[in-house]
Amino acid sequence: MTGAAGQLGADLCRLLEARAAEPGSPVSGWAGLTRAEFDITDPARVRAVLRDQARPAKIQGGLVVFNTAAWTNVDAAESDEAGAYAVNATGPAHLAAACAEVGATLIHISTDYVFDGRAAKPYEVNDPTGPVSAYGRTKLAGEEAVRALLPDASYVVRTAWVYGRTGSNFVKTISRLARERDTLSVVDDQVGSPTWSADLASGLLELASSTAPTGVYHCTNAGETTWFGFAREIVAALGQDPAKVTPTTTEAFPRPARRPAYAVLSGRSWVDAGLTPPRAWDAALSAAFAAAGDALRG
How high is the pLDDT of residue 58?
60
Average pLDDT over residues 44-54: 93
How high is the pLDDT of residue 227?
98
Catalytic residue among 85, 113, 123, 135: 135
Contact residues for 209 (Cβ-Cβ < 8 A; gap 6+): 26
Assess contact for 152 and 275: CB atoms under 8 A: no
**Bridge partner residues of 174 (DSSP):** none
Assess contact for 227 and 188: CB atoms under 8 A: yes
3-state secondary structure of 202: helix
Average pLDDT over residues 155-179: 97
| Residue 102, pLDDT above cutoff 80 | yes
How high is the pLDDT of residue 33?
92
Distances from the Cα of 7 to the Cα of 138, 163, 193, angstroms: 20, 7, 17
Q: Does 215 reside within a domain?
A: yes
How high is the pLDDT of residue 85?
98
Assess contact for 158 and 108: CB atoms under 8 A: no
pLDDT in tens, 225-238: 999 999 999 999 99
Average pLDDT over residues 80-98: 98
Average pLDDT of the chain, as a whole number: 95
Q: Does 180 reside within a domain?
A: no
Average pLDDT over residues 14-18: 92
Average pLDDT over residues 11-19: 93
Our count of domains for the chain comes to 1
Average pLDDT over residues 1-5: 95
State what percent of residues in the chain have pLDDT above 90: 91
What residue numbers bound the domain in which 48 lies? 7-169+194-222+263-279
How high is the pLDDT of residue 298?
79
Q: Does 55 reside within a domain?
A: yes
How high is the pLDDT of residue 59?
47
pLDDT in tens, 190-231: 999 999 999 999 999 999 999 999 999 999 999 999 999 999
Q: In what order do the strands lie in the sheet with 154-159?
A: 64-67, 105-111, 154-159, 215-218
Q: Which residue has the higher pLDDT, 53 or 160?
A: 160
| Residue 264, pLDDT above cutoff 60 | yes
- Angle among Cα 6, 9, 11 to the nearest 5 degrees reads 105
Q: What is the CATH number of the domain that holds 43?
A: 3.40.50.720
How high is the pLDDT of residue 53?
87
pLDDT in tens, 55-80: 766 645 589 999 999 999 999 999 99
How high is the pLDDT of residue 60?
55
Average pLDDT over residues 160-180: 97
Q: Does 243 reside within a domain?
A: no
How high is the pLDDT of residue 57?
60
How high is the pLDDT of residue 196?
98
Q: Is 155 one of the catalytic residues?
A: no
Q: Does 286 reside within a domain?
A: no
